Protein backbone atom coordinates (compact mmCIF):
# COMPACT_ATOMS: atom_id res chain seq x y z
CA UNK A 1 0.00 0.00 0.00
CA UNK A 2 1.82 3.17 -1.18
CA UNK A 3 2.39 5.95 1.37
CA UNK A 4 2.60 9.57 0.21
CA UNK A 5 4.20 12.03 2.65
CA UNK A 6 2.59 15.43 2.09
CA UNK A 7 4.71 18.43 3.08
CA UNK A 8 2.17 21.13 3.89
CA UNK A 9 3.77 24.53 3.28
CA UNK A 10 0.69 26.75 3.38
CA UNK A 11 -2.59 27.02 5.29
CA UNK A 12 -5.99 27.52 3.72
CA UNK A 13 -8.02 30.20 5.50
CA UNK A 14 -10.43 28.86 8.16
CA UNK A 15 -13.49 29.80 6.08
CA UNK A 16 -12.22 28.13 2.92
CA UNK A 17 -10.79 25.18 4.84
CA UNK A 18 -14.24 24.48 6.25
CA UNK A 19 -15.75 24.57 2.76
CA UNK A 20 -13.02 23.03 0.65
CA UNK A 21 -10.54 21.37 2.99
CA UNK A 22 -6.84 21.89 3.61
CA UNK A 23 -4.26 21.51 0.86
CA UNK A 24 -3.38 17.98 2.05
CA UNK A 25 -7.06 17.04 2.08
CA UNK A 26 -7.48 18.32 -1.49
CA UNK A 27 -4.61 16.12 -2.63
CA UNK A 28 -5.92 13.14 -0.68
CA UNK A 29 -9.28 13.46 -2.45
CA UNK A 30 -7.66 13.79 -5.87
CA UNK A 31 -5.18 10.93 -5.49
CA UNK A 32 -7.63 8.72 -3.61
CA UNK A 33 -10.13 9.02 -6.47
CA UNK A 34 -7.49 7.59 -8.81
CA UNK A 35 -6.11 4.94 -6.44
CA UNK A 36 -7.94 4.12 -3.23
CA UNK A 37 -5.02 2.03 -1.95
CA UNK A 38 -2.78 5.07 -1.43
CA UNK A 39 -2.31 6.22 2.18
CA UNK A 40 -1.09 9.59 3.40
CA UNK A 41 0.97 11.19 6.11
CA UNK A 42 1.12 14.98 6.50
CA UNK A 43 4.02 17.01 7.83
CA UNK A 44 2.89 20.59 8.46
CA UNK A 45 5.63 23.20 8.17
CA UNK A 46 3.35 26.05 9.42
CA UNK A 47 2.55 23.97 12.51
CA UNK A 48 6.26 23.68 13.28
CA UNK A 49 6.53 19.96 12.54
CA UNK A 50 10.05 18.76 11.64
CA UNK A 51 10.87 17.41 8.22
CA UNK A 52 11.10 13.62 8.18
CA UNK A 53 14.21 11.58 7.41
CA UNK A 54 14.46 10.76 3.73
CA UNK A 55 15.23 7.12 4.49
CA UNK A 56 12.09 5.04 4.38
CA UNK A 57 9.93 7.60 2.57
CA UNK A 58 8.05 6.13 -0.37
CA UNK A 59 6.84 9.32 -2.09
CA UNK A 60 6.80 13.04 -1.33
CA UNK A 61 4.34 15.78 -2.32
CA UNK A 62 5.03 19.47 -1.58
CA UNK A 63 1.96 21.71 -1.52
CA UNK A 64 1.26 25.29 -2.50
CA UNK A 65 1.69 28.24 -0.16
CA UNK A 66 1.17 31.99 0.02
CA UNK A 67 4.90 32.24 0.76
CA UNK A 68 7.50 32.96 -1.87
CA UNK A 69 10.62 30.84 -2.23
CA UNK A 70 12.62 34.08 -1.96
CA UNK A 71 11.09 34.99 1.42
CA UNK A 72 13.35 35.12 4.47
CA UNK A 73 11.73 32.27 6.39
CA UNK A 74 13.90 29.97 8.46
CA UNK A 75 12.23 26.84 7.02
CA UNK A 76 13.03 27.55 3.35
CA UNK A 77 16.69 26.46 3.40
CA UNK A 78 16.02 23.19 5.31
CA UNK A 79 13.22 22.35 2.89
CA UNK A 80 15.55 22.97 -0.06
CA UNK A 81 18.12 20.63 1.51
CA UNK A 82 15.35 18.05 1.99
CA UNK A 83 14.42 18.36 -1.70
CA UNK A 84 18.02 17.89 -2.82
CA UNK A 85 18.41 14.82 -0.61
CA UNK A 86 15.15 13.29 -1.88
CA UNK A 87 16.09 13.94 -5.49
CA UNK A 88 19.56 12.48 -5.02
CA UNK A 89 18.07 9.42 -3.29
CA UNK A 90 15.53 9.04 -6.14
CA UNK A 91 12.53 9.18 -3.83
CA UNK A 92 9.53 9.97 -6.07
CA UNK A 93 8.66 13.63 -5.44
CA UNK A 94 6.07 16.06 -6.79
CA UNK A 95 5.81 19.80 -6.14
CA UNK A 96 2.77 21.96 -6.91
CA UNK A 97 2.78 25.79 -7.26
CA UNK A 98 5.03 26.87 -4.37
CA UNK A 99 6.35 23.30 -4.34
CA UNK A 100 7.14 23.66 -8.06
CA UNK A 101 9.10 26.85 -7.47
CA UNK A 102 10.84 25.51 -4.37
CA UNK A 103 12.04 22.33 -6.10
CA UNK A 104 13.29 24.32 -9.08
CA UNK A 105 15.18 26.73 -6.82
CA UNK A 106 16.61 23.94 -4.65
CA UNK A 107 17.98 22.13 -7.72
CA UNK A 108 19.63 25.19 -9.23
CA UNK A 109 16.89 27.13 -11.01
CA UNK A 110 15.43 30.56 -10.38
CA UNK A 111 11.91 31.51 -9.28
CA UNK A 112 10.54 34.97 -8.53
CA UNK A 113 7.50 37.21 -8.76
CA UNK A 114 6.63 37.65 -12.42
CA UNK A 115 6.13 40.99 -14.14
CA UNK A 116 3.20 39.34 -15.95
CA UNK A 117 1.15 39.56 -12.75
CA UNK A 118 -1.45 37.10 -11.54
CA UNK A 119 -2.22 33.83 -13.27
CA UNK A 120 -5.76 32.93 -12.24
CA UNK A 121 -8.62 30.70 -13.25
CA UNK A 122 -8.41 28.18 -16.07
CA UNK A 123 -5.16 28.15 -18.03
CA UNK A 124 -4.37 25.91 -20.99
CA UNK A 125 -0.88 24.43 -21.25
CA UNK A 126 0.91 22.82 -24.16
CA UNK A 127 2.04 19.26 -23.41
CA UNK A 128 5.48 18.25 -24.66
CA UNK A 129 5.27 15.27 -26.99
CA UNK A 130 6.71 12.00 -25.72
CA UNK A 131 7.15 13.18 -22.14
CA UNK A 132 6.10 9.77 -20.78
CA UNK A 133 3.74 11.15 -18.11
CA UNK A 134 0.97 13.28 -19.62
CA UNK A 135 -0.90 12.35 -22.80
CA UNK A 136 -2.44 14.69 -25.33
CA UNK A 137 -1.34 17.98 -26.84
CA UNK A 138 -2.96 20.35 -24.33
CA UNK A 139 -4.24 20.29 -20.76
CA UNK A 140 -6.39 22.84 -18.91
CA UNK A 141 -5.90 23.31 -15.17
CA UNK A 142 -6.75 25.79 -12.44
CA UNK A 143 -3.99 28.14 -11.36
CA UNK A 144 -3.44 30.87 -8.79
CA UNK A 145 0.03 32.42 -8.73
CA UNK A 146 2.14 35.53 -9.12
CA UNK A 147 5.51 33.80 -8.85
CA UNK A 148 6.98 31.66 -11.62
CA UNK A 149 10.02 29.59 -12.43
CA UNK A 150 12.09 31.93 -14.59
CA UNK A 151 15.07 29.66 -15.24
CA UNK A 152 14.74 25.88 -14.82
CA UNK A 153 17.60 23.84 -13.38
CA UNK A 154 20.15 22.31 -15.72
CA UNK A 155 18.93 18.94 -16.94
CA UNK A 156 15.24 19.66 -16.29
CA UNK A 157 12.83 18.99 -19.17
CA UNK A 158 9.85 21.30 -19.70
CA UNK A 159 6.76 19.15 -20.18
CA UNK A 160 4.05 21.83 -19.69
CA UNK A 161 4.25 25.36 -21.04
CA UNK A 162 2.21 28.38 -22.10
CA UNK A 163 2.89 31.94 -23.21
CA UNK A 164 2.07 33.11 -19.69
CA UNK A 165 4.00 30.35 -17.91
CA UNK A 166 6.82 29.01 -20.11
CA UNK A 167 8.03 26.55 -17.45
CA UNK A 168 4.72 25.32 -16.08
CA UNK A 169 5.76 21.70 -15.70
CA UNK A 170 9.25 20.31 -15.17
CA UNK A 171 10.58 16.75 -15.14
CA UNK A 172 13.99 16.74 -13.49
CA UNK A 173 17.14 14.85 -14.37
CA UNK A 174 16.86 11.29 -13.07
CA UNK A 175 13.13 11.09 -13.77
CA UNK A 176 11.86 10.74 -10.18
CA UNK A 177 11.04 14.41 -9.50
CA UNK A 178 8.20 16.32 -11.17
CA UNK A 179 6.79 19.76 -10.47
CA UNK A 180 3.88 21.76 -11.91
CA UNK A 181 2.81 25.37 -11.50
CA UNK A 182 -0.94 24.76 -11.82
CA UNK A 183 -3.23 23.19 -9.23
CA UNK A 184 -4.74 19.86 -10.34
CA UNK A 185 -6.07 19.41 -6.77
CA UNK A 186 -8.31 22.51 -6.81
CA UNK A 187 -12.07 22.12 -7.03
CA UNK A 188 -13.93 24.73 -9.08
CA UNK A 189 -15.26 26.18 -5.84
CA UNK A 190 -11.84 26.71 -4.32
CA UNK A 191 -10.39 28.03 -7.58
CA UNK A 192 -13.17 30.62 -7.67
CA UNK A 193 -12.49 31.46 -4.02
CA UNK A 194 -8.86 32.17 -4.94
CA UNK A 195 -10.02 34.54 -7.69
CA UNK A 196 -12.32 36.33 -5.25
CA UNK A 197 -9.50 36.64 -2.72
CA UNK A 198 -7.31 38.42 -5.27
CA UNK A 199 -10.22 40.60 -6.35
CA UNK A 200 -10.81 41.64 -2.73
CA UNK A 201 -7.21 42.88 -2.53
CA UNK A 202 -7.63 44.96 -5.67
CA UNK A 203 -4.77 43.16 -7.41
CA UNK A 204 -6.75 41.82 -10.36
CA UNK A 205 -10.02 43.72 -10.94
CA UNK A 206 -11.20 42.00 -14.13
CA UNK A 207 -11.71 38.42 -13.02
CA UNK A 208 -15.23 37.80 -14.35
CA UNK A 209 -14.10 36.19 -17.65
CA UNK A 210 -11.65 33.92 -15.85
CA UNK A 211 -14.22 32.77 -13.30
CA UNK A 212 -16.78 32.15 -16.04
CA UNK A 213 -14.35 30.10 -18.16
CA UNK A 214 -13.32 28.10 -15.11
CA UNK A 215 -16.94 27.32 -14.28
CA UNK A 216 -17.73 26.23 -17.84
CA UNK A 217 -14.63 24.05 -17.98
CA UNK A 218 -15.40 22.17 -14.77
CA UNK A 219 -19.02 21.87 -15.85
CA UNK A 220 -17.96 20.08 -19.02
CA UNK A 221 -15.72 17.77 -17.03
CA UNK A 222 -18.63 16.78 -14.80
CA UNK A 223 -20.86 16.17 -17.81
CA UNK A 224 -18.37 13.81 -19.42
CA UNK A 225 -16.87 12.29 -16.28
Q: Tell me, yes or no, if 185 is annotated catalytic.
A: yes
Any residues with CB less than 8 A from the CB of 151 and at least 6 apart, and which?
Answer: 109, 110
Three-class secondary structure of residue 93 per DSSP: strand
- What is d(CA 135, CA 8) in angstroms, rounded to the nearest whole number? 28
- What is d(CA 102, CA 51) in angstroms, rounded to the nearest whole number? 15
- Paired strand residues for 160: 127, 169
Q: Which of 100, 123, 183, 194 is catalytic?
A: 183
Residues 131 and 157 sit within 8 Å (Cβ to Cβ): yes
- What is d(CA 22, CA 153) in angstroms, rounded to the nearest whole number? 30
Q: Tell me, yes or no, if 183 is annotated catalytic.
A: yes
Q: Which of 97, 143, 194, 195 is catalytic?
A: 97
CA 100 to mean position of chain CA atoms:
6
The beta-strand segments (E) located in the chain are 3-8, 39-44, 59-62, 93-96, 110-113, 119-127, 138-145, 147-151, 157-161, 169-171, 177-180
Q: Tell me, yes or no, if 100 is annotated catalytic.
A: no
Phi–psi pair at 129, nearest 5 degrees: -65, 140
Any residues with CB less than 8 A from the CB of 219 and at least 6 apart, and which?
Answer: none
By annotation, the residues acting in catalysis are 97, 183, 185
Amino acid sequence: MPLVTIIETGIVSPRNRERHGSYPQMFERMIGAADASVTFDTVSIPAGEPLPDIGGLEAILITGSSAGVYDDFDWIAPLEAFVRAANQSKVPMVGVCFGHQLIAQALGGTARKSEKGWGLGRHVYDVAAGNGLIDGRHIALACSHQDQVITPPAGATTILSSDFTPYAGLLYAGGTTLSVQAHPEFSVGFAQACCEMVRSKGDAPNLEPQVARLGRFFGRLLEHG
